[in-house]
Structure 1
């Protein structure tokens, strides 16, 4: 492998993750793009005329915990950077009435991330590992009646990443949590969202690919303001939010 750096993107079929593939390649990375939907990734690679020497498509199922160790062991090369971008969303009313949807959000958004990232993080034989990035959400900052089940999975994932950052600090491995607002992606199709707050996938990807040392990264100044307000808002006012 002639590339200086390697990145493993888990849940690589999301719109943001696909933009990360392009931007990491642009920076000279060898990209391992892992997803259940390998057909979609193969089409994406062909559409963008990406060289097979620069990207490797792998099958990864976030919900199949028993497969995660073998998946990691069989990687063509161990990563310098691991990005967990897998996500699943059903609306709150559906999740309240049908636990199947709630459970799948928990499995994909939180448990799958913990399972595979524990394996990545605890491999001390991988001297290359320098960064782990998890994609979280502003929905996880405070519990709100419109999306608290989805938000709870993101809150749990953020807290996991915070602890993992402390665990890995002695090894000088950086852990980042991308706390993201609305993005123009397929997961948000059909939702009534404030157009002025919607970010494009390539814009968000820039913050992932160029992540620094800070733990919490909130793309877009408008969302940074919202994030800060949510953190300090009294419970009585949070209860009035949609």
Structure 2
């Protein structure tokens, strides 16, 4: 059985991935600051307690990451980093704490804990690290460039980590997701026809293959390619 570690396990995508991993019979450590919410989720979904261990994990408490990793009941074979935090760009530009928290959750915290995991040479069973990123990190846009910049940094870190771990035959994937119907996006004026369900993204996570960049959804694959190639003068006209 493959041991799975989910960091930021209270996110909507992470909870769907948790259910899918458990359905495969994989033991999962679900790590989050919201341990009470996870316990409620496990009861509601009637997930087998023997397959799910809930642990407290704070992505922004870097000093605790080593002790957290050392306390795991087993070294993971699959790691999913799904922690997320969103602050409106206009507010974030005037609220340094909000901006800094996005940086800590999406990038600094990820680098801190994933470095610990990736450099543990005693874990010869580690086979995959998956990061949940965003199309917001593909090009800087005036409506969300602070959030997007943190996701861009995370994606680039994962790209380098993939190369670093290549010789050890450890796969690193990044899920570059579009709009997800979740508690984080609730209330935002997003295009309904482009919304993706958390379970759809979670399937891309659980079924990740060898490709580095995975963009779930046909429409978002097109948008991703257009964004990458769009001239700067046109990007400047985007919201």
List gaps (5 residues or longer) in structure 1.
none
- Number of paired residues? 239
Residue of structure 2 equivalent to 1:203: 200
Q: What secondary structure is seen at the aligned counterpart in 1 of 2:3?
A: strand
Residue of structure 2 equivalent to 1:129: 126
Residue of structure 2 equivalent to 1:11: 8
Give runs of aligned pairs for residues 25-40 of structure 1, distance below 5 A. 25-40=22-37
Residue of structure 2 equivalent to 1:165: 162
Distance in structure 2 (CA, Å) of the matches to 1:80 and 1:93: 40
Asked if residue 155 in structure 1 is aligned to residue 152 in structure 2, the reply is: yes
Residue of structure 1 equivalent to 2:42: 45
Q: Cα deviation per residue 1:159-208 (whole Å; 9 max; x = unaligned)? A: 00000000000000000000000000000011000000000011110000
Asked if residue 108 in structure 1 is aligned to residue 99 in structure 2, the reply is: no
User: What's the CA shift for 1:52?
Assistant: 1.2
Asked if residue 118 in structure 1 is aligned to residue 115 in structure 2, the reply is: yes
Structure 1 moving runs of 4+ over 3 Å: none
Residue of structure 1 equivalent to 2:227: 230
Asked if residue 190 in structure 1 is aligned to residue 187 in structure 2, the reply is: yes
User: What's the CA shift for 1:28?
Assistant: 1.6
User: What's the CA shift for 1:90?
Assistant: 0.3
User: What's the CA shift for 1:98?
Assistant: 1.0
Distance in structure 2 (CA, Å) of the matches to 1:80 and 1:29: 10
Residue of structure 2 equivalent to 1:138: 135
Give the RMSD, CA atoms, in angstroms. 0.4
Distance in structure 1 (CA, Å) of the matches to 2:186 and 2:94: 21
User: What's the CA shift for 1:27?
Assistant: 1.4
When normalised by structure 1's length, the TM-score is 0.98
User: What's the CA shift for 1:79?
Assistant: 0.3
Distance in structure 2 (CA, Å) of the matches to 1:51 and 1:241: 46
Q: What secondary structure is seen at the aligned counterpart in 1 of 2:10?
A: coil
Distance in structure 2 (CA, Å) of the matches to 1:151 and 1:13: 21
Q: What secondary structure is seen at the aligned counterpart in 1 of 2:181?
A: coil
Distance in structure 1 (CA, Å) of the matches to 2:20 and 2:208: 12
Residue of structure 1 equivalent to 2:171: 174
Q: What secondary structure is seen at the aligned counterpart in 1 of 2:75?
A: coil
Q: What secondary structure is seen at the aligned counterpart in 2 of 1:53?
A: helix
Distance in structure 1 (CA, Å) of the matches to 2:135 and 2:49: 36
User: What's the CA shift for 1:50?
Assistant: 1.1
List gaps (5 residues or longer) in structure 2.
none
Distance in structure 2 (CA, Å) of the matches to 1:29 and 1:181: 28
